[in-house]
A = this chain, B = another copy of it.
Amino acid sequence: MPQPLEFWVGYGSTYSYLSVMRIASSARRWGVPLVWKPFNIRSLMIEKGLPTGPFIPRPEKLAYMWRDLERRAQRRGLPYSKPTQYPVDSQATVRVALLAAQEGWCGEFSQRVFHMNFVESRPIGAPGNLEAALHDLGREAAATIRKAHEPDIEAALAAQTRTAIELGIFGAPTFRVGDELFWGDDRLEDALEWARNCQLAPSDQA
């Protein structure tokens, strides 16, 4: 039996776009159970001394990230348009994501908000976009957002973020299988193979 794969996803993370759009179908194809683990990437980054994330303090790395993300989206066959805003304010979105994970609709929610951010130039955190995403999914926006800001969701999000830090997670996307961490969209295939086989077989190279 394959082990479950935990998907530690941050809604302010650019590379998470590549994983969010393909992880459900990939996990299904591999027969690997998928567990969505939204966490507060901003809280983690503040704790690690990077309050604006890993790229803003390093302009050449930021420039590279945008070009790399564009090329990798092409590689994955995903549409891509450079976001009009970065960093984004993902605080309300991650709260809804945690509620969605509890209720079983985190995958479709995440795909919607990441598609808006990375294809439709409708940034995560910009006024009205979270409401629009929920509406598109057939959900009552105001009530959902209100529920996502209740104390139990706040507490669950804080606890999940604390768990991420204690597990040694330092960025997103991160995949966890048993005790193994895999960081970055380019490690998703390794994580899926580990979930199936508890090891990595030597594979064809370029």
Contact = CB atoms under 8 A, between A and B. Distances in A.
A202 B75 contact: yes
Contacts of A188: 206
Contacts of A170: 58, 60-61, 64
B71 A29 contact: no
A84 to B, nearest CB: 23
Given A58-B48, A67-B181, A68-B183, A206 B30 contact: yes
User: Oligomeric state, in number of copies?
Assistant: 2
Contacts of A181: 64, 67
A178 to B, nearest CB: 13
A68 B181 CA distance: 8
A20 B166 CA distance: 34
A81 interface: no
A184 B190 CA distance: 16
B63 A205 contact: no
A190 B71 contact: yes
Q: Which of A22, A76, A202, A206 has the most CB of B within 10 A?
A: A206
Contact of A199 (B64, B68, B74): B74
Contacts of A184: 186
A37 to B, nearest CB: 17
In the A-B complex, the 7 residue pairs with the smallest Cβ-Cβ separation, listed nearest first, are A77-B202, A189-B206, A60-B168, A75-B200, A186-B186, A60-B170, A192-B206
Interface of A: 22, 26, 29-30, 48, 58, 60-61, 63-64, 67-68, 71, 74-77, 168-170, 180-184, 186-190, 192-193, 199-203, 205-206
